[in-house]
Amino acid sequence: MSPGPSSRRKVAMGTKQGGAALLILLTVLVLGAATLLVSRLNQLSSRFDDSRKTDQALVAAKEALLGWALSDEQRPGLLPVPDLASDGNYDGDSDCPFGSLNSSHQLGRLPWRRYLNAPPAAYCSGNRGGVGGLLKDAAAEPLWYAVSANLLYDGGYPVINSDIASLSSGWLTVRDRQGNVLSNRVAAVLLSAGEMLAGQNRSGAAATADNYLDSVTLMGTSYSNADADLDFIAASESDTFNDRLVYITIDELLAQVERKVVATARACLEAYAAVSGNKYPWAAPLNATAPPSYIGLLNSHFGRIPATPNIEVSAGVNDAAMQSSWQPANCFSGLSYWPDWRESIFFRVAPGYAPGSGASCPICLTFGGLGNYHAVVVQAGAALAGQTRTSSADKGSIGNYLEGDNADGDNDFERQAASAVFNDRALCLDGGGGCR
């Protein structure tokens, strides 16, 4: 017997109720998945924002540190001592180690406090203080900083010039996430400590570095950003490691310092010419039998910049239109860092702009056969392969300093991108500041 209408209605009602329950279940599952997805996306977005904020702080700190180094009038390239815990706090000051410099003085917080008046006794390199602004990562933690001893004031200023790049020791090392060396010629490292991890305790005024900076073990080898070995790693983020870092190599720093020094030399020469009839003094010629003398000689068109301008038109007779001392007075001998750089900076004066000339071409200088320049100043980079600068004979040979057309003794010069065989910086002078 076939089911009656009542039975069919019950079956249909049961089917509809079952379908509705399934639809509700699916809706709940979809909503749950969507909620998890949104939550996960929010977490990823938050982590991305945090990473971006931290990276921005690190980049800003790098720029501030480079600016600090370039603005040091005693030694361009000098870097500040970190804000150390040894004085019982992290107060933003650049803390003097008071005694022999060692690796414990090279890692601390990035100093930020500047001094408008006399600095506290704990600061040991002038009255400049830190980088001028407190920079923090996304976790609101101030940034950390490690620095090479080669660039620190330790009671005396280090010699900072192009040849510092040839030092084989004293630099920091930075590794990638696999532990491979990215660079072992690092002048400074800037680090973000991030959120406090399990086992760290940041209470108190001067918690030690390992409560901020982390360690990791890769293939059985342990690396720590908090110890005194000055070897740092940019490992992958995990539950036990969340440091982030940027770094400055000595080559990166030195390139900017060299640009400043040679530009300053060019500006001094231009300032002198402006009050000397648009003319330039004789150069101090190279001499392979004696140390550099920095004494300008009559008819010497090329050499090092002399300590005092030689403006003779003949023996004992000066060019009346020219100044007998550098103008302004703070040029060259007035620059405290000049003794460290003068050996590696050369200039040529065009015959038409030398003492006794009419301050005009046609006998002028060129770059690649082009231009009509009054003078050229050239800075030698670090010694390249085959160049030595030790003995008087070494220092008297231009081939140990300059390369290519800059070393051949004629009136034509060249510029190239720095490479393993060329690293000169040559600037032209035209009396009007129009050439570079």
In a domain, 37, yes or no: no
In a domain, 39, yes or no: no
Q: What percent of the chain has pLDDT above 70?
A: 86
Q: Are residues 210 and 290 in the same domain?
A: no
Tens digits of residue pLDDT in 190-228: 999 999 999 999 999 999 999 999 999 999 999 999 998
CA–CA separation, 177 and 187 (whole Å) = 20
**What is the domain range of residue 374?**
275-429
> Quick one: average pLDDT of 150-170?
90
> For residue 429, what are the CA distances in angstroms to 266, 295, 371, 390, 415?
7, 22, 11, 31, 14
pLDDT of residue 123: 47
pLDDT of residue 44: 46
CA–CA separation, 207 and 93 (whole Å) = 16
Q: Are residues 197 and 291 in the same domain?
A: no
Q: Are residues 209 and 83 in the same domain?
A: yes
CA–CA separation, 289 and 28 (whole Å) = 92
Q: Are residues 188 and 295 in the same domain?
A: no
Q: Are residues 154 and 247 in the same domain?
A: yes
Q: Are residues 194 and 125 in the same domain?
A: yes
Range of weakest confidence among 53-57, 62-66, 333-337, 340-344: 333-337
CA–CA separation, 202 and 187 (whole Å) = 28
In a domain, 170, yes or no: yes
Half-sphere exposure of 299 (CA within 13 A, CB side): 3
Smallest CA-to-CA distance from 246 within 68, 58, 65, 108 is with 58
> Quick one: average pLDDT of 58-63?
97
**Which residues, including other chains, have CB under 8 Å from residue 130's CB and lie 6 or more apart?**
68, 80, 83, 92, 93, 94, 110, 111, 112, 113, 114
> Quick one: average pLDDT of 238-245?
96
Q: Are residues 309 and 372 in the same domain?
A: yes
Q: Are residues 208 and 153 in the same domain?
A: yes
* Cα Rg of the chain (Å, integer): 32
| Confidence band for 74, pLDDT divided at 50, 70 and 90 | confident
The model carries a pTM of 0.85
Q: Are residues 218 and 282 in the same domain?
A: no
How many structural domains does the chain have? 2
Q: Are residues 348 and 392 in the same domain?
A: yes
Q: Are residues 219 and 335 in the same domain?
A: no
Residue 5 pLDDT > 70, yes or no?
no
In a domain, 27, yes or no: no
pLDDT of residue 256: 96
> For residue 271, what are the CA distances in angstroms to 43, 85, 352, 365?
59, 47, 18, 19
Q: Are residues 226 and 300 in the same domain?
A: no
Residue 142 pLDDT > 90, yes or no?
yes
> Quick one: average pLDDT of 76-89?
91
> Quick one: average pLDDT of 12-20?
59
